[in-house]
Each structure stands twice: as structure tokens, then as C-alpha cells.
């Protein structure tokens, strides 16, 4: 895997065919203007009976999910382009966040607030590597108060709700828990999105770009994909807090890049390479003219263990700076959350049976995985 590129076999083993399909989780709109989804036989006026009326948020209750919904719903948007639609949410008085795959190549979007008002949005920045986009909204109701990204990382097991517009059912809410953290999920560019959040809250086409919220009313992730049984994913608040401000300010975001392919050092990989312990990441390849060329040694031979061939001879990365590398998710998350292009990092490696530390100056990730 290259700089944490999609672990597709792993995703497929988890029912990932639906997950991979779900990354395009906006609802496509045909050229005739009809939505291309399973609810197309339902009249638009019947499914959108809130077009001319305020969304019914229910009576006040003590349920925390209902409270979060009431306080957030007027800040959650329907985002529509010529090619499809998804969800977004306000993050300040004039800007909203959604997925890059929701806006696609569009420069402008149609925006609908929960109380039925339509306005126009300008796509001011988009980053396919993190699948995030920022939209400047032309006219924002006073009731649409910004939602805040969580200051801390999500915790496995914590209660969350997903708010959005699945299958054209505007203003829907589903509830669940954070099923896992520090996941790697496919990005539209062929690389991976690190530090992703996994949830069992129902996520369907049309939810993409909406908020996954804690019961404290903070956004813990921007919903990105779903479709497996109780299996949805979102871009973490920690990554969004780094990316979105630059999308608003400059229009894009540059990600750190090492230019290496690697394997987790499993017991079989360790045996093939004569390592005493299965730890770290084995460098299997180095990109020509990439940041790691001449710094890290790639594997150039193979060895067989239990009739399976493994690359051998490459450096084994143990840590970056003071961060230990146990999995490819560790590497991807550290690069994404703690480094920027042109930073020089210290990489602790095993080479020829000895530990040593080398310095590596990071580059900028290319537009697509080659």
C-alpha cells in the first residue's frame, strides 16, 4: 500500500463492495431532473411536504437525540448540483461543509434550508484527498447557527446521530454509536482518507456531507460513505479542522507525501525478513523521484513462507518522530494530522538488522495515485 492507499481487500472482507459504492453517496439526478433512486415513484410533493412549511422538529422532550436534532436541523442543508445531491451543514455565518464528491466539478450549487428556503452556494474550495468541500452561501437564515467540530477525537462506543437527506427524505435522523476510530477509507483520488470514523448509524445515499454528531451537539465526523449492514464512515472532525479553513481561505489543501509502498509486518512477513518481532511497516517500494528515494531502502527480493511470497530486504519503519507505527493507519493519521509538505520528519527504521534514524523531507501528495 502506498502512503496508506486503499486497503481494498480489507474493505471487501467487511462487506466492502457496498462501502466502495457508497463513497459516491450523493443521489444522482438524471438529465430530466428526476432523482435516480429507489423512491423515484414517489411524487416530489409527497416526499417533500415541508417545502412550504417549517420542518416539524417535534415537541420538547428529554431525549438527547431529539434535543441535538432540534438544535442542529436548521443548520443542515440540502446541497444540489446538476449531477446529484447530498447534505451539508453550516460551520460559520456564511460557509458550509459537504463532501467533495457531492459538489463534483460544480462551481455553484443550489442550497435548501430545512425551513424550505432555497438559495445559491459558491464552491470556494474542494479537496478530493479528504473528500471535503467548502461552500459560500449567498443568503443564510438567522436561525441557521453554525455547528462546531468536536475538539477531541471520537471515542469508540459513544452515542452519535447522523442528520441528512437520505433518498430524498429531507431532514432525517438516525442514531447509533461510534463503531471504530482511526479507520482508512478510500478517497476519490485512489489514496486513502486516514483517521476516519466508523458508525453503525444508518447512512444512505443523500447523507453524504452531513454531520455525524455527538449527544453534546458537536460534529465528530463529516459523513462520507455507507451502504454495508450497519457500516458507515465519516471524515473525522480532527482532519476537517485542518482542511476546511484552508479550503475557505485558499481553495485547496496540500497533503504530506512520503512516496512509499509498505506492508504491515505480520508474523509471516517478519519470518521472511528474519526479524525477531512482528512490528512496524516494511517498505516494499519507493516512488521514483519521490521524497523517500535515496532515504528509505525498498524491498528488491522475495522470500516464501507457507507457500506465500513476501517482499524482503527493505527498511522496516518503526516510528515517525516520537509516534510508534504499529499499523498503516498509524502512519496515515500521523502524516495527516501532524505534518505538512516540506516538513522534515525523523524516521526510525530497521536496516540490515540494526535500528537507525534517518531524516526525510515530505513532499506534496500528487492529484491521483499512479
Catalytic machinery residues:
101, 131, 208
User: Do the beta carbons of residue 325 and residue 346 sit within 8 Å?
Assistant: no
d(CA 73, CA 324): 41
Burial class (CB in 10 A: 0-12, 13-18, 19+), 322: exposed
| DSSP H/E element including 356 | strand 354-361
Query: H helices within 115-257, ranges in order?
Result: 237-250
* Alpha-carbon distances, residue 139 vs 49, 55, 146, 170, 222 (angstroms): 23, 19, 14, 20, 23
Q: Quick check: helix, strand or coil at residue 286?
A: strand
Residues whose CB falls within 8 Å of the CB of residue 105, separated by 6 or more in sequence, listed in order: none
Location of C-alpha cell 485547496: 252
d(CA 85, CA 164): 11
Partners of 351 in beta bridges: 354
d(CA 114, CA 91): 16
Strand 108-112 with 76-80, pairing: antiparallel
* Alpha-carbon distances, residue 165 vs 34, 86, 177, 191, 241 (angstroms): 16, 7, 19, 27, 23
Residues whose CB falls within 8 Å of the CB of residue 157, separated by 6 or more in sequence, listed in order: 177, 178
Location of C-alpha cell 412549511: 53
83: cell is: 449531477
d(CA 285, CA 141): 53
d(CA 362, CA 346): 11
d(CA 314, CA 260): 11
Amino acid at each position: 500500500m502506498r502512503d496508506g492507499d486503499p486497503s481494498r481487500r480489507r474493505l471487501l472482507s467487511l462487506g466492502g463492495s457496498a462501502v466502495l459504492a457508497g463513497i459516491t453517496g450523493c443521489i444522482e439526478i438524471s438529465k430530466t431532473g428526476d432523482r435516480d433512486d429507489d423512491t423515484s415513484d414517489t411524487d416530489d410533493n409527497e416526499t417533500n411536504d415541508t417545502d412550504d412549511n417549517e420542518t416539524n422538529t417535534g415537541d420538547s422532550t428529554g431525549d438527547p437525540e431529539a434535543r441535538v436534532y432540534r438544535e442542529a436541523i436548521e443548520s443542515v442543508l440540502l446541497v444540489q448540483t446538476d449531477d446529484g445531491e447530498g447534505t451539508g451543514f453550516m460551520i460559520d455565518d456564511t460557509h458550509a461543509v459537504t463532501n467533495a464528491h457531492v459538489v463534483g466539478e460544480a462551481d455553484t450549487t443550489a442550497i435548501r434550508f430545512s425551513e424550505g428556503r432555497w438559495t445559491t452556494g459558491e464552491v470556494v474550495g474542494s479537496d478530493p484527498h479528504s473528500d471535503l468541500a467548502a461552500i459560500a452561501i449567498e443568503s443564510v437564515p438567522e436561525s441557521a447557527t453554525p455547528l462546531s467540530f468536536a475538539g477531541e477525537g471520537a471515542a469508540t462506543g459513544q452515542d452519535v446521530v447522523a442528520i441528512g437527506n437520505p433518498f430524498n427524505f429531507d431532514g432525517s435522523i438516525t442514531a447509533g454509536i461510534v463503531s471504530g476510530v482511526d479507520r482508512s477509507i478510500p478517497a476519490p483520488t485512489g489514496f486513502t482518507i486516514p483517521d476516519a470514523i466508523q458508525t453503525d448509524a444508518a447512512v444512505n445515499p443523500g447523507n453524504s456531507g452531513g454531520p455525524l454528531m455527538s449527544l453534546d451537539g458537536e460534529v465528530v465526523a463529516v459523513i462520507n460513505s455507507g451502504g454495508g449492514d450497519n457500516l458507515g464512515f465519516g471524515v473525522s472532525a480532527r482532519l476537517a479542522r485542518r482542511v476546511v479553513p484552508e479550503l475557505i481561505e485558499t481553495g485547496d489543501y496540500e497533503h504530506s507525501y512520503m512516496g512509499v509502498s509498505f506492508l504491515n509486518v505480520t508474523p509471516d512477513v517478519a519470518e521472511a525478513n528474519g526479524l525477531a518481532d512482528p512490528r512496524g511497516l516494511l517498505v516494499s517500494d519507493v516512488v521514483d523521484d519521490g521524497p523517500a528515494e535515496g532515504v528509505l531502502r525498498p524491498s528488491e527480493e522475495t522470500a516464501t513462507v507457507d507457500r506465500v511470497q513476501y517482499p524482503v530486504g527493505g527498511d522496516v519503519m518503526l516510528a515517525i518522530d516520537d509516534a510508534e507505527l504499529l499499523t498503516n493507519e498509524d502512519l496515515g493519521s500521523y502524516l495527516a494530522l501532524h505534518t505538512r509538505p516540506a516538513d522534515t520528519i525523523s524516521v526510525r527504521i530497521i536496516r540490515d538488522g540494526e535500528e537507525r534514524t534517518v531524516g526525510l523531507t515530505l513532499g506534496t501528495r500528487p492529484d491521483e495515485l499512479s
